[in-house]
Each structure stands twice: as structure tokens, then as C-alpha cells.
Structure 1
């Protein structure tokens, strides 16, 4: 079933312990692949993940007692990809390969996981929606917060 492959990011959501962390790790090489098309391509692909994730989550939770089963990790992919958007644009603007900005990749990963786990502010609000949109939006917001953090850290590193 395609929705299950998408929702679990090719099965990463079934790995234990910490399926959210495994899903975030699985998102890294996929991000690198999509970034090879350029920053605009990666940004558009990231935007496409939101409706794709809503669809997959809806399919996987239809008739399920939980609105956010732990094996659904497409939301982690979305959040991390949002956090990585500044890396894609930064590498393109600098004319370097995206992997050269590895400290930004690390910062995006760590900041995204922290914001996603802590559920601070608007992340917690979205998580409390208890619906398909909440599943995706809390990670999207955590991704935006992580992206801001990545940009701040990059600015500080280049002072």
C-alpha cells in the first residue's frame, strides 16, 4: 500500500526505539537526493510533502484508534526538510555542494528533534489538535523554528 510506504517513510517508522528519530534520519539522504535538483526544486518538493503526508496519514489512521500512531513519520520528514531549506539555498548561493554545509545539517537535525520533542509554543498547539492536520502541522512548525535556528547559527558562524 502506497500510503503506508509514504507514511512510514519506506518503513523507517517501524524501527524501534524512537521511530520519530529513525524517520528523521531516513529523511536526511532523501533530502540530499532532492537537493541535487537545486534549492527551488527542494523547496517545492518540501511543500508537496504536506498534502502528501496529510493524505497518507488520513489513509493510515482511517479506523485506527489513535490519530497519530508512532509508525507515521512522514511528518518528521516534512519538519526536517523545512529545517534544511536554508541549507539548500545557502549552498546554492555560495556555489558549493550541499554536503559542504554539514554543520547546518547537524544543526537542523538537532534543533528539529528538540522542538518536535519539547512541543514548545505553537508546536504544542498544533499537536493538541488531535487530527490529521495536527499530525503534520506540529512538525512543520517545529521545522520552521529549526530553520530559523539554523539561519541564526549560520549568521553567528559567519561573523
Structure 2
């Protein structure tokens, strides 16, 4: 079961770039969660997938030769949903209907998440270099945090400049 969770039921086996495939799938599912239950449901799902991800990765890590297998993509789902929580929360706090989640918000969260996940600046790279089970999850959670903040900064700049 741990391997199924870590690979998001085989999604991590897609090639090339399994992390990007997982992030794209996470965006689709995250937008659906937002539309069904708005920010509270997406936030709850993010917490659940993060806890389950830590559990699965820790269980699998001990027997691994490769300390960050590319097929483990539950960390991308957790990080991408964390990034998506930022615009989702913005819409929720503004009282906008859950059926509205225009593409700039989720597209920016996707692009910024992939950028920070690949570039690995500061805390992202520090977590990635830990070389332990928690580092696998933490680097993507930091990337998700940075992506969420960058998404909100971009939204603020766009709305301040164009409205």
C-alpha cells in the first residue's frame, strides 16, 4: 500500500518528467476539490495527503538504495496542493463562489511550483539535501509554500497594475 501511495497509484511511473505529470494531475484534482468544497476541502485534502505522504515515504525509505526515487510523486501532490491553497483561500476569503477559479490562479500556482521544485532555492534545496525520508516531502512542501506566496504576489501585481 505504501508504494501505491508514494507513486500516487502508478502516476509516478509516467515518463518523462513524472513530477510534472503528478503536478498537472494534482492541479486538476485540486481545482475539482476547490469547486466541490472550496478552500476548506482543499486545505483538508492537503493536510491528509501530506500526512499520508510522510507515512508512506518513511515506510519505504529504509529499504531504498536510491534516496529520492523519481517515481515517488506523493510529495509533488502535497506541494502542488499547498501552492494551490493560496489562490483558493483568496477566492474563499473574498466570498467568491467555489465554481469560479479562473485559470490565472491555478496556472500560476502550477508554474511557480514547478519552477521552485526544479530550481530548489534556499529552504527547498536545504530540505532536498537532507537525504532522508522527511527531506523527500519537505522540499516539495517548501516549494509549494514559495509557489503560493509567489502566486499571490503575482496576483496582487496583476490586479494592482491592470485594474
TM-score, scaled relative to structure 2 = 0.90
1:77 is matched with which residue? 77
Q: Match of 2:19? A: 20
- For this pair of structures, how many residues does the alignment match? 158
Q: In the alignment, what sits opposite 2:33? A: 34
Deviation at 1:67, TM superposition (A): 1.8
Cα separation, 1, equivalents of 2:72 and 2:3? 8
RMSD over equivalenced CA pairs, Å: 1.5
Q: Contact conserved, 1:32 with 1:98, CA < 8 A, in 2?
A: no
Question: With structure 1 as the length reference, what TM-score do the two structures score?
Answer: 0.92
| Matched-pair contact (CA < 8 Å) for 1:46–1:78 | yes
- For residues 117-152 of structure 1, what are the alpha-carbon distances to aligned partners after superposition, in whole Å with 9 as ceiling and x for unaligned? 011111000001101110000000000000000110
1:9–1:26 CA contact under 8 A, matched in 2? no
The residue aligned with 1:156 is 157
Report the CA distance shift for 1:157/1:96 in structure 2 as closer, same or farther (over 3 A). farther
**Residues of 1 paired with 2:113 and 2:127: CA distance?**
15
> Structure 2: 5+ residue runs without aligned partners?
none
Q: Residues 4 and 46 of structure 1: is their aligned pair in 2 closer, same or farther, counting only changes over 3 Å?
A: same
Does residue 8 (structure 1) correspond to residue 7 (structure 2)? The answer is yes
- 1:36-75 aligned at under 5 Å gives the runs 36-75=36-75
Q: Is the 8 A contact 1:82 1:147 kept in 2?
A: yes
Partner of residue 119, structure 2: 118
Shift of 1:5: 2.1
Checking the alignment, whether the CA contact within 8 Å between 1:107 and 1:150 is kept in structure 2 is yes
Q: 1:144 and 2:145 equivalent?
A: yes
Question: Structure 1 residue 55: deviation in Å?
Answer: 1.1
**Secondary structure at the counterpart of residue 148 of structure 2:** helix
Is the 1:13–1:23 contact (alpha carbons within 8 Å) kept by the matching residues of 2?
yes
